[in-house]
Structure 1
Amino acid sequence: MAALTPRTAELASLSRSGLYRAAQARRLERVARGIYLPADATPADWDMIEAATRRPDGTICLISALAHHDLTDEIPAALDVAIPRGSRIPATDAAIAWHSFDRATFELGRELMPIAGTDQVIGIYSPERSITDAFRLRGAIGYEIARDALREWLRRGGKPAHLIATATRIPRAKAPIMNALEVLT
């Protein structure tokens, strides 16, 4: 089941006050401010649910995406979520790090991933896009993370041509990736 909010509760034939009464009666469990799940719902990642509910266009990126694709051993302190630059960053209760990405390249490498235990989906960047962003933002997340992710991706049979095609479309990414590929291959 998708998360219920005061707005979506009305679509499910439940008034706002009925939503709050159900939460007080423990038939609904509060995920975050204004977001509820049925108490008997399958366990799910509440941070992802909150991110997908607050920003349906949000996309898991950087270290969180690399970790999802098993390209890093780093454990992100917060869920890294990209939103289009200029969008309002929502107030959240969860450990979510919001990142603003250029609107022109926002959809590049974006895929939809189901959130386990719910009917909801959230965007996630492909391994190639995640590596490209790691190199592009290496000053913020660390060069070693980007290099190690690239090394693991190549070890698994990743095609450098696919990575270069992605990096060519993202500003400030192609040169450092080409340098790293030259050293690693």
Structure 2
Amino acid sequence: MVYRSPLIDKLPKGSPFTVNEASRLGVPKASLYRLRDSGVIDQLGPGLYFLSRSLDADLDLLEAAYKAPLATICLSSALARHGLIDEIPSTIDLALPRGKTPPKIAGPITWHQFDKATFDLDRTLVPIEGVEDARIGIYSAERSIVDAFRLRASAGYETGIEALRNWLKRPGSQPARLMELSTAIPRSKGPLRVAMEVLL
């Protein structure tokens, strides 16, 4: 038999919540655990919950955005979202400013530390589908290409080449914009210029 309780109506319907937030809304910890154990709510991660079937979203991204508001989709994950590479990454690449400690997340996340001085360069926020008001950072296609060349040893040189080749085929692509970004981001300009000379 499924456990029913009027306390369910007090919990947020479209966003995750913590034990403390549930308590402030009038749902005691013991009741929250009873709701979890009966399958009425699900555990998104340590200390983070949501109403079952109330979310149709990427739960790993949601947990990351909730626990690390500066988390930004980067490298292969950003390139795939921008449609610049065919690879489907096995983990989600997320960047934080250097010095920020990545939170513990149950899902397949690979954390990267980016320089504070350039962290916000070409970074925007995008909605997390299925969750009202939930957003996460993502780097632009251009910034993601530049980062792929900057971190070519770990990202893979071929990844940068594939993304650059596909980006250059798009109407309105401006190679000068890539070079401008690479000037601001150390260790990317030389390799990017060589690749552009070959592909153009």
Q: Name the TM-score, length of structure 1 as normaliser.
A: 0.93
1:114-151 superposed Cα distances (whole Å, 9 cap, x missing partner)? 11111211101100110010000001111110001000
Correspondent of 2:180 among 165, 168, 175: 165
Cα distance, 1:9 vs structure 2: 2.9
Amino acid at match of 1:47: D
- The yes-or-no answer on 1:133 pairing with 2:150 is no
For residue 159 of structure 2, what is the aligned residue in structure 1? 145
Higher relative contact order (CA 8 A, sep 6+): 1
User: What SS does the corresponding residue of 1:122 show, helix, strand or coil?
Assistant: strand
For residue 22 of structure 1, what is the aligned residue in structure 2? 35
Correspondent of 1:96 among 98, 109, 115: 109
Q: Which one has the largest radius of gyration?
A: 2
Equivalent positions of 1:1-185 (< 5 A) are 1-10=14-23, 12-119=25-132, 120-157=134-171, 158-185=173-200
Unaligned runs of 5+ in 1: none
Q: Name the TM-score, length of structure 2 as normaliser.
A: 0.87
Q: How many residues align?
A: 185
| C-alpha distance 12-174 of structure 1, shift in aligned 2 (>3 A) | farther
Unaligned runs of 5+ in 2: 1-13
CA–CA separation in structure 2 for the residues paired with 1:129 and 1:57: 17
